[in-house]
């Protein structure tokens, strides 16, 4: 976990950048991991969905293919796992990677996956209760006298909890080291898998809710945001208008809504870099992640963000030390 540097409003935590597996041929995974590390990414991430590869197997392969990047689940569906089995998988990856795992947990949100797996679809409140129980059980299993193998990191790998609703964010505020803001909610009454993205004011309310619920822990938390799209262009207004036609169902139905969204990046490299610095100041977002198809556009922005923030990434630091 990075050490916070205190500034106006939010701790000015050092930027980190992560990329999530997405729409990638599994046979290209290790090359993807190596090149992502070379591009300056700080974390390689794997989701937990049926129809996608096993997250822990993917991260173990990533550990063998890389040397410095963190390895995270974004996020494990707690309902798919028995805590003892989850502890075994997480501890194994943490050990084989030399302590690079970040364990991201969530309650699951795709009903169709539960049905396919024959797993009961419980209410959101029940899933959050079971997630909190699992966190307590994981802490017990990761303890010094817990289940073998124990993780490399003590007392446990950093914990990320992702969510948007108050129940999930309250749980994250009380237990997590990293808070994951995806900004996505299921549209009520619509087909499952039809999502909307939160706007600025809603996101601000969620951020303030977490900080209030975290109390004295607030300034030690790292805030993660999952960017749904990165579009480098010299004409942000035109591109945003085009995206509004595609994203309209998600609530981003005007060019202005697209440009204002904390979850979509549109503009030149320098414009996007400035937007990310502003988002860190406004929302506290310092851990910036995106999906695999947008890896290369975001990679173009990373050096500009680091220059503007007066930071160097781990890749640059490693080069200097060598």
Start-end of H helices in the chain: 29-38, 55-65, 83-96, 111-117, 124-142, 166-175, 200-214, 236-247, 255-260, 269-283, 295-309, 314-321
Burial of 115-141, coded b for 16+ CB within 10 Å and e otherwise, reads eeeeeeeeeeeebbebbbebbebbbeb
Determine whether 187 is exposed, middle or buried from the number of CB atoms within 10 Å of its CB (0-12, 13-18, 19+).
middle
Residue with tokens 């309902």: 79
3-class state of residue 47 by DSSP: coil
> Which position has the higher pLDDT, 62 or 6?
62
Average pLDDT in the chain: 91
Q: What is the CATH number of the domain that holds 142?
A: 3.20.20.30
Does 11 fall in a domain? no
Does 246 fall in a domain? no
Does 236 fall in a domain? no
How confident is the model at residue 251, as a pLDDT? 86
How confident is the model at residue 14, as a pLDDT? 95
Does 322 fall in a domain? no
Closest listed residue to residue 173, CA positions, set 137, 220, 205: 220
- Report the number of distinct structural domains present in the chain: 1
- Per the document, the length of the chain is 322
How confident is the model at residue 13, as a pLDDT? 84
- 314 pLDDT band, cuts 50/70/90, is low
| Residue 65 belongs to domain spanning | 16-228+269-311
Does 303 fall in a domain? yes
Does 195 fall in a domain? yes
Cα dist. 2→13, 161, 174, 238 in Å? 7, 17, 19, 37
Does 84 fall in a domain? yes
Does 238 fall in a domain? no
How confident is the model at residue 263, as a pLDDT? 96
Q: 57-66, 119-128, 199-208, 249-258: lowest mean pLDDT where?
A: 249-258
> Region 184-209: what's the mean pLDDT?
82
% of the chain exceeding 70 in pLDDT: 91
Residue 51 gets the label, from left (phi > 0), alpha (psi -120 to 50) or beta, of left
Cα dist. 191→235, 247, 297, 313 in Å? 34, 16, 31, 42
At 262-291, the pLDDT tens digits run: 999 999 999 999 999 999 999 999 999 999
Q: At what angle do helices 166-175 and 200-214 cross, to 10 degrees?
A: 40
- On whether the CB atoms of residues 106 and 162 are closer than 8 A, the answer is yes
């Amino acid at each position: 976990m990075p050490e916070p540097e205190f500034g106006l409003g939010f701790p000015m935590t050092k930027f980190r950048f992560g990329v999530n597996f997405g729409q990638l041929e599994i046979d290209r995974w290790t090359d993807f991991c190596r090149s992502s590390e070379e591009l300056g990414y700080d974390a390689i991430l794997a989701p937990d969905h049926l129809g996608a590869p096993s997250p822990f197997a993917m991260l173990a392969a990533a550990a063998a293919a890389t040397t410095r990047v963190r390895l995270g689940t974004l996020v494990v569906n707690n309902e798919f796992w028995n805590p003892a089995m989850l502890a075994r998988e997480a501890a194994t990856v943490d050990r084989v990677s030399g302590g690079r795992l970040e364990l991201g947990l969530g309650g699951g949100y795709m009903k169709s996956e539960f049905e396919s797996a024959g797993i009961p679809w419980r209410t959101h409140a029940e899933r959050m209760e079971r997630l909190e129980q699992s966190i307590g059980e994981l802490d017990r299993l990761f303890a010094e006298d817990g289940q073998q193998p124990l993780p490399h990191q003590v007392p446990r790998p950093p914990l990320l909890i992702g969510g948007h609703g108050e129940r999930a964010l309250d749980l994250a505020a009380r237990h997590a080291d990293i808070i994951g803001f995806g900004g996505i909610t299921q549209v009520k009454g619509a087909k499952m898998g039809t999502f909307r993205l939160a706007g600025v004011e809603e996101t601000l309310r969620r951020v303030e809710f977490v900080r209030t619920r975290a109390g004295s822990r607030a300034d030690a938390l790292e805030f993660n945001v999952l960017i749904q799209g990165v579009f480098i262009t010299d004409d942000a207004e035109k591109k945003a208008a085009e995206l509004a036609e595609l994203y309209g169902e998600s609530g981003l139905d005007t060019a202005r809504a697209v440009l204002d969204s904390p979850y979509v990046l549109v503009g030149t490299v320098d414009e996007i870099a400035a937007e990310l610095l502003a988002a860190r100041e406004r929302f506290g977002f310092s851990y910036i992640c995106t999906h695999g198809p947008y890896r290369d556009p975001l990679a173009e922005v990373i050096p500009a963000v680091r220059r503007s923030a007066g930071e160097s990434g781990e890749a640059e630091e490693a080069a200097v030390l060598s």
